[in-house]
Structure 1
Amino acid sequence: MTGGPDLRVRLGALELAHPVINASGTYDVLAVAGEHGLGAVPFSCYVPKTVTPEPRPGNPPPRITETPSGIINAIGLENPGIEAFIADLPRLAGLPVPVVISVGGARPADYLTVVGRMEERLADAGAGPLPPIAGYELNVSCPNVAAGGLSIGADPEALYELVSAARPLTARLLI
């Protein structure tokens, strides 16, 4: 036997070497690459920190606290916004694994803005090298400001509407 059992899995049309994927924002591949190179990614797919249309500063500290039964975090989706994210994306061009972009927003239209803008950039072949973008993770655990703070993921109808609106924007994976 060479290398152990076959752990390949499929996520839609995407075939992954094994089922281990990082949760969005929990692994800074560029920080690790500084020490070990981009080839040292231990995941079969990389999910960067959630990106929103506009920059977000996140919540003020404290953002993380321990409890007797675990850890609670309230990071607040701190990110540079879609334009800065796109500008930085070529730094991931040497990744040996596919990338799934985590998309967030304060309202459903924000998700569509990010997916649409990413697709525009991906269609612009002359804009430089990019990592292999396999699809999008719709971070629907974010509070929907337009719905009084209710998470889109907690409302089946709102979730259906969001996915239905996002699907025509991309042929890539939507999770």
Structure 2
Amino acid sequence: MSRTGAITFKGNPMTLAGAAVSVGDAAPDFTLHYFEGGMQKLDLADLKGKPTILSVVPSLDTGVCAIQTKKFNEHLSGMGDAVNAVTVSLDLPFAMNRFCGAESITNLRVASDYQDRSFGNAFGTLIEELKILCRAVFVLDANGVVQYAQYVPEVTEEPDYTAALSALKGLAG
């Protein structure tokens, strides 16, 4: 299934692979990769038990993606271990780690969908024309049920931080 014109990139309509994930849906399973003392896997089961925010970006090497990651990192500083926070992109795990070190990103994990695009296809965030992920934010409850979902309509624009963080804080107590 594809969703033609679901979002735009610099005003041009783009097609997203897969179905949209909506509030009330059980989050689809996925496998991401991150580098922490070696290559590690992260999947949905690893996130259950705590509220989770998934911040999806095309690439940390772009201005808006860097801003999005830094803003969520800043706002998550007071939440500690009460929540899971993950930035997802197709960037290689090593490049993601370099970004986090250079930008002092410590309140969220970065994980890559580079191997098989399982996240992008399952969450409907893979832009078919560009082979990158669109900008999106998802908040899951401790059981992995979607409580907030935003597919940012224009990839070059920032997400609604206030709405996403409000949903997350409401779950974290």
TM-score under structure 2 length normalisation: 0.30
Indicate the structure (1 or 2) with the bigger Cα radius of gyration. 1
Higher relative contact order (CA 8 A, sep 6+): 2
TM-score under structure 1 length normalisation: 0.30
Larger proportion of strand: 2
